[in-house]
Amino acid sequence: MADHVAAVAALDEPNRRRLYDFVARQAAPVSKDEASVAVDVPRTTAAFHLDKLVEMGLLDVVHERRSGRTGPGAGRPAKLYLRSSGQIEVSLPDRRYEAASHLLTDALLEAQTTGEPPREILNRRAYEWGSDLAGSAGGEVVEALESFGFEPRQDGGSILLGNCPFHSLAQRHTELVCGMNLCLISGLLDGIKETGHTANLDPAPGHCCVRLDQA
């Protein structure tokens, strides 16, 4: 999240934003000279901002010989810029709608092939995903929940989740999405062998529908 916020903030500088917009609109990679002419800034200024955009993950660099010649005497490849293939997202509170869309789409496609009820597949895949996420959690359930945007909060011996990463989906399709969420967190707990808490549905205003109670 911090890196994504910094990347978006980098576009607040007017010349940098104009350079990014110019590069993003081009059908082919562009040189710093082309960019400096297009937005009417000095070449050194363009180079500085373009490289900053690369550093922030907003642009990529390729090296090409535009003359088409190869071998000795062909000259050095030119440094060219193009929009990054990566995706920068910032959402406050943290939302994970793309992750939910992958789960839902995969469940639907598998159901079409196997005939298994889509909701059962969705819940199974959510559980498996939670178990996979546990691999990077270091055995700490609160850290894992924080990394996924659930905003865990201690409430006596229980853990409340202050944010639902699938909030708007859960508002419209509560039973489906909350069931998916419960399976995801159950998979996470089992994956890190967290036996001190169990995940239970406990929808209430102000926090996620899943609550972690002492086992």
| Joined tokens for residue 118 | 């889509």
Residue 186 lies in a domain: yes
Contacts of 149 (CB under 8 A, 6+ apart): 93, 94, 95, 96, 163, 165
CA dihedral 87, 104, 201, 175 (to 10 degrees): 120
Q: What is the mean pLDDT of residues 38-48?
A: 95
User: Does 173 have pLDDT greater than 70?
Assistant: yes
Q: pLDDT tens, 122-151?
A: 999 999 999 988 877 666 888 889 888 899
Same domain, 103 and 209: yes
Same domain, 113 and 142: yes
Same domain, 129 and 205: yes
Q: Band the pLDDT of 212: cuts 50, 70, 90.
A: very high
Same domain, 129 and 200: yes
Burial of residue 138 (CB within 10 Å: 0-12, 13-18, 19+) is exposed
pLDDT at 47: 95
Residue 90 lies in a domain: no
User: Which CATH number belongs to the domain containing residue 18 in this structure?
Assistant: 1.10.10.10
User: Which CATH number belongs to the domain containing residue 197 in this structure?
Assistant: 3.30.1380
Residue after which a domain boundary falls, among 41, 59, 83: 83
- Number of domains observed in the structure of the chain: 2
Same domain, 21 and 73: yes
Q: Which domain holds residue 43?
A: 2-83
- CA 83 and chain centroid, separation: 17
Residue 88 lies in a domain: no
Residue 147 lies in a domain: yes
